[in-house]
Amino acid sequence: MTNVCVNGYGTIGKRVADAIRKHSKLKLLGVAKYSPDQDAKIANMNGINVFVPKESVAVFESKGVEVNGTVDELLESSDNIVDASPDDVGKKNKQVYSQKKKKAVFQGGEEADIGFSFNARCNFDDGKGKDYIRVVSCNTTGYCRMICPLAERYKIKHVFASLIRRGADPSDTKGSQLNSVEWKAKSHHADDVRSVVDVPMSSVAFKIPHTHAHINSMLVEFEGEKPSKDDIYEIFKNERIALLNNATTSSQIVETARDLGLKRFDIFMPCLLMNTFMSNGNSVFLSFAVPQESIVVPENIDAIISQNNLMNKEESMKFTDDILDMRNIKTQLEKIFS
């Protein structure tokens, strides 16, 4: 068993911690919490050990949180750390991990140079043995899951990507303005995708005030042959992607996840909106919805497996799919929106 801890128990950390607990090769030693909020008490209730900064033990205990030790003790006893801290904080944490000689998985809010940029579908084998892996961001993960299977079959000349980003997560008290659309020309997403897969790409990102999902579109220009709509169904049928024919709003997808009784409404995969498919000349246009809170969870698990060489790519991705029930979720979504 590989002893793992999660440093930062927020939107991503709590989901990754749950997934680690379901994995037969991983043992969750505990999570590091930095504020004595409801999440700390829910972790207590669910039997997850909670570790806090040494100077905060008394504050947590005074709020009724059961503390199992200090963050330093947790990091020391772990073989592998999943850093799910806020954007850019992982960089500082990395100094501690490096002093303690611990392997770590970081998140997409860190700069690309923090570690090997990882997507299970695209480069699982290259992550093997790496001390530091960065699971790329939610949108980049979505693009990678689409682009790698396409790039294996066709020659991609260029990808123009347009992102409509959710302004906040449901649990956030921060986020976008209520009455404005913000945009970033030449957004970082194209470079981020290129940190995983060598593809010519440009991107622009718009941020809008809602919490459901990122809605991404891409115009993929091919050299030579290009996929038809039928080819797209065939290419993605066994990927971590749900192909929806009839969805027309993000609310429908979220409400379906709620009705299916999925914990935290997590579907772990992008929904390819097949009614947006268009084809012209050498290009194909596609849109997909990214469930920002959950899409990177499978990649976090596969990253730990890859860097510790615990399974091969196929075994790892299948096992992760199973513990998260992803094939069943995909089948149900595709049936409901058939």
Q: Which residue among 81, 89, 150, 161 contacts ligand NAD (CB under 6 A)? A: 89
C-alpha–C-alpha distance, residues 221 and 280, integer Å: 9
Contact status: 146 vs ligand NAD (CB under 6 A): no
Residue 11 in the binding site for ligand NAD (CB under 6 A): yes
Q: Residue 237 or residue 263: which is nearer to ligand NAD going by CB?
A: 263
Closest C-alpha to 197, from 253, 140, 277, 235:
140
Q: Using CA atoms, how far apart are residues 108 and 291, in angstroms rounded to an integer?
A: 15
Q: Which of 168, 180, 277, 140 shows the shortest CA–CA distance to 220?
A: 277
Q: Is 138 a catalytic residue?
A: yes
Question: Per CB under 6 A, does 300 bind ligand NAD?
Answer: no
Site for ligand NAD contains 268 (CB under 6 A): no
Considering only the stretches 224-232, 262-270, 289-297, 313-321, report the one whose residues sit in contact with ligand NAD under the rule CB under 6 A: 289-297
Out of 26, 84, 150, 163, which residue is the one contacting ligand NAD (CB under 6 A)?
84
Of the residues 4, 12, 16, 31, which one makes contact with ligand NAD according to CB under 6 A: 12
Compare residues 106 and 124 and give the one whose CB is closer to ligand NAD: 106
Q: Would you mind telling me the total number of residues written for the chain in this entry?
A: 338
Long-range contacts of 253-256 (CB under 8 A, 24+ apart): 253/212, 253/213, 253/289, 253/291, 253/333, 254/212, 254/213, 256/333, 256/336, 256/337
3-state SS, one letter per residue, for 17-70? HHHHHCCCCEEEEEEECCCCCHHHHHHHHCCCCEEECHHHHHHHHHCCCCCCEE
Residue 238 vs residues 24, 153, 176: alpha-carbon distances, Å: 24, 15, 35
Given the complex with ligand NAD, which of 171 and 228 has the nearer CB atom? 171
Of these, 7, 78, 117, 250, which contacts ligand NAD (CB under 6 A)?
7
293 lies in the site for ligand NAD, by CB under 6 A: yes
Cα atoms found within 13 Å of the Cα of residue 198, Cβ hemisphere only: 1
CB of 329 to ligand NAD, least distance (A): 18
Would you say 4 or 156 has its CB closer to ligand NAD?
A: 4
87 binds ligand NAD (CB under 6 A): yes
Residue (23 or 165) nearer to ligand NAD, CB: 165
> CB 227 → ligand NAD: shortest distance, Å?
28
User: Judging by beta carbons within 10 Å of its beta carbon (0-12, 13-18, 19+), is residue 333 exposed, middle or buried?
Assistant: buried
* Least gap, CB of 245 to ligand NAD (angstroms): 26
Q: Does 296 bind ligand NAD (CB under 6 A)?
A: yes
Q: Which of 166, 202, 81, 176 is nearest to 132 (CA)?
A: 81
The contact pattern for ligand NAD, residues 33-62, with x = CB under 6 A and - = no contact, is: -xx---------------------------
In 3D, which of 24, 28, 23 has the Cα closest to residue 3?
28
Q: Find the radius of gyration of the CA atoms of the chain.
A: 20
> Rounded CA gap, 123 and 105, in Å?
15
Q: Determine if 113 is a binding residue for ligand NAD (CB under 6 A).
A: no
By CB under 6 A, tell whether 109 contacts ligand NAD: yes
The pair of structure tokens assigned to 71 is: 């963050």
Please work out the total of residues on this chain that contact ligand NAD, with binding judged by CB under 6 A.
26
Tell me: does residue 216 bind ligand NAD (CB under 6 A): no
Catalytic-labelled residue, pool 5, 138, 144, 271? 138
Active site residues: 138
Contact residues for ligand NAD (CB under 6 A)? 7-13, 32, 34-35, 84-87, 89, 93, 107-110, 137-138, 169, 292-293, 296
